Amino acid sequence: MDAEIKLRKSEAKKMLHLEEKVKVQHEIKELEKQRAQKRQTLFAKQDEVDDRKEQLLSDIEKRLKQRIVNEELFTVRWEIV
């Protein structure tokens, strides 16, 4: 998308007719708007991934801190007669 914007800007500079130049400038603005929206979406998704990663690390950390304790709850005795 950056390459397309750069190309359109270059083309706009070379245009002689003002009407065409204005039209291309509007197209450039629209492309820049789309690029900004995509960047915002990307950043939001990256934040979601980072949050999920942090949650997973916290869960793993909690599990590593767990201790297993053996405690006798009851005893069963039987006798064969």
Q: How far apart (Å, rounded) are the C-alpha atoms in residues 39 and 2?
A: 12
- pTM of this structure: 0.61
User: How do residues 43-65 score in pLDDT, each as one tens digit?
Assistant: 999 999 999 999 999 999 998 88
Q: What is the CA radius of gyration of the chain?
A: 32
Closest listed residue to residue 34, CA positions, set 46, 22, 44, 42 = 42
Copy the structure tokens of residue 33.
């708007």
Q: For 3-42, write each residue's pLDDT tens digit.
A: 888 888 888 888 888 889 999 999 999 999 999 999 999 9
Q: What is the pLDDT of residue 5?
A: 85
Confidence of residue 66 (pLDDT cuts 50, 70, 90): confident
- DSSP for residue 9: H
Residue partners of 11: CB distance under 8 A and separation at least 6: 24
